[in-house]
């Protein structure tokens, strides 16, 4: 039993840190460290940079063009990205649809879709949720009817993250209404430029447009875009869920945000406020305890032993900690968190800032925005159901 990384792992970390430092635009990193809104270019530019290095798909096996890193190396890379203030790698392409294509796609589909994901050129989004089906995904109603070499898709998806920028969407669609609700679902890739696809961005409570409604009105999708077998989509979606790993806890970003919280407390002259400081200390303990959980999962993966069955715990705790970090940051600012000045959220504020310090501008919106973390990706209530199922049957 050992908590230290090997010399090789430490050398690896130095290497990726150096590379990131050399390639990450400091202006973009500054936005990340300040919690400002990121543009499409901020996100995709960095994805392309990583793609050119072969590191965007850093969790992929070598056989599909990944670097073949160990779980610990993947974690160290993720940590280096987080601490450097790199924009997030959107999971929809490399983390979500790619493993399904690798596992269940044809060689043609793999050659057609994977390179664009690995390079960061093609922006993917996820079409699962529908207005009537949130936690109850199996009740989805968007239907795809076979018409020769095509499917005709009709229906509506919602909560589709960043679909307004997306080139492709991977969807769960209903291809049969027979049997149990789960059995009639298929996994279909759809070009967002197809006629009949309409995207409406939804304004969120923090003023940002992060999710969308997507309508399909007689959209013709080539049957070649079906992954695996018709009516087996539920199996593939479950495979994808089981594929989610330690990074679901997002602990590296929590560590970065804890540092930011401490910087803010110092800058605002509240570092010596014992009451506030106790709350920061309690959160520091939470984050260390979460990291130990993550490291145990990683170590189990590395040693080839069965991974700990605690993905749901990681999701619950990680999301709660993200929310608490944002909550405390807002409370550090106090009433100075109240001005809502859009340009200050984008980092484009140039005049004297009437709200004290523009660094405080993103704090409340972020607190509002992060309420989503205990809702999406399977709400924390659903996650507790999963944990209980494991414990009690």
Q: Which one, 292 or 388, has the nearer CB to a second copy?
A: 388
Q: Which one, 8 or 278, has the nearer CB to a second copy?
A: 278
Beta carbons within 10 angstroms of residue 391's beta carbon:
7
Alpha carbons 106 and 108: distance in angstroms, whole number: 5
Phi–psi pair at 169, nearest 5 degrees: -130, 135
Beta carbons within 10 angstroms of residue 242's beta carbon:
9
Name the burial class of residue 154, with classes exposed (0-12), middle (13-18) and buried (19+) by CB atoms within 10 angstroms of its CB. middle
| Binds other proteins (CB under 8 A): choice among 19, 64, 349, 368 | 368
Residue 1: contacted member of other proteins, a second copy, none (CB under 5 to 8 Å, by partner type): other proteins
Closest by CA position to 219, among listed 185, 173, 178, 162:
173
Residue 56: contacted member of a second copy, other proteins, none (CB under 5 to 8 Å, by partner type): none
End-to-end Cα distance, the chain? 32
| Binds other proteins (CB under 8 A): choice among 40, 52, 146, 384 | 384
Instruction: Given the residues 79, 244, 257, 301, select the one marked as catalytic.
Output: 244
| Binds other proteins (CB under 8 A): choice among 2, 22, 178, 242 | 2
Question: In the window 215-234, what residues touch other proteins (CB under 8 A)?
Answer: none
| Binds other proteins (CB under 8 A): choice among 73, 99, 268, 345 | 268
Q: Does 388 bind other proteins (CB under 8 A)?
A: yes
Residue 334: contacted member of other proteins, a second copy, none (CB under 5 to 8 Å, by partner type): other proteins
Binding site for a second copy (CB under 8 A): 274-275, 278
244 flagged as catalytic: yes
C-alpha separations of 338 from 135, 335, 355, 364 in Å: 33, 6, 8, 7
Q: Does 348 bind other proteins (CB under 8 A)?
A: no
Is-contact 304 74, C-beta < 8 A? Answer: no
Alpha carbons 341 and 251: distance in angstroms, whole number: 30
Q: Does 381 bind other proteins (CB under 8 A)?
A: yes
The CB-of-109 to other proteins minimum distance in angstroms stands at 30
Give the active site residues.
244
């Amino acid at each position: 039993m050992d908590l230290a990384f090997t010399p090789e792992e430490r050398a690896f970390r130095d290497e990726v840190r150096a590379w990131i430092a050399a390639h990450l635009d400091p202006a973009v990193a500054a936005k990340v460290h300040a919690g400002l809104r990121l543009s499409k270019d901020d996100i995709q530019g960095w994805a392309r940079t990583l793609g050119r290095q072969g590191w965007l798909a850093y969790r992929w096996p070598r056989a599909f063009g990944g670097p073949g890193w160990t779980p610990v190396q993947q974690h160290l890379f993720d940590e280096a990205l987080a601490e450097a203030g790199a924009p997030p790698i959107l999971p929809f392409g490399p983390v979500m649809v790619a493993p399904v294509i690798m596992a269940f796609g044809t060689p043609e589909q793999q050659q057609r879709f994977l390179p664009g994901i690995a390079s960061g050129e093609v922006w993917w989004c996820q079409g699962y949720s529908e207005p009537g089906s949130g936690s109850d995904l199996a009740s989805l109603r968007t239907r795809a009817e076979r018409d020769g070499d095509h499917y005709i898709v009709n229906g509506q998806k919602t909560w589709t993250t960043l679909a307004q920028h997306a080139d492709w969407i991977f969807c769960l669609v209903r291809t049969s209404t027979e049997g149990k609700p789960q059995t009639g679902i298929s996994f279909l890739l759809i070009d967002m430029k197809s006629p009949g696809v309409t995207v409406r961005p939804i304004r969120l409570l923090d003023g940002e447009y992060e999710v969308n409604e997507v309508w399909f009105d007689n959209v013709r999708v080539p049957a070649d875009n079906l992954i695996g077998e018709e009516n087996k989509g539920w199996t593939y979606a479950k495979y994808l869920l089981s594929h989610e790993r330690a990074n679901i806890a997002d602990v590296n970003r929590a560590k970065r945000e804890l540092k930011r919280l401490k910087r803010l407390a110092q800058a605002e002259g509240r570092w010596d406020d014992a009451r506030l400081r106790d709350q920061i200390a309690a959160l520091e303990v939470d984050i260390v305890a979460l990291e130990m959980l993550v490291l145990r999962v990683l170590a189990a993966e590395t040693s080839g032993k069965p991974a700990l069955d605690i993905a749901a715990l990681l999701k619950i705790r990680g999301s709660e900690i993200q929310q608490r970090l944002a909550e405390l940051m807002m409370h550090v600012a106090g009433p100075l968190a109240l001005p809502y000045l859009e340009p200050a959220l984008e980092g484009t504020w140039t005049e004297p800032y009437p709200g004290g310090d523009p660094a405080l501008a993103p704090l409340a919106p972020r607190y509002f925005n992060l309420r989503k973390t205990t809702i999406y990706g399977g709400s924390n209530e659903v996650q507790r159901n999963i944990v209980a199922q494991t414990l009690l049957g």
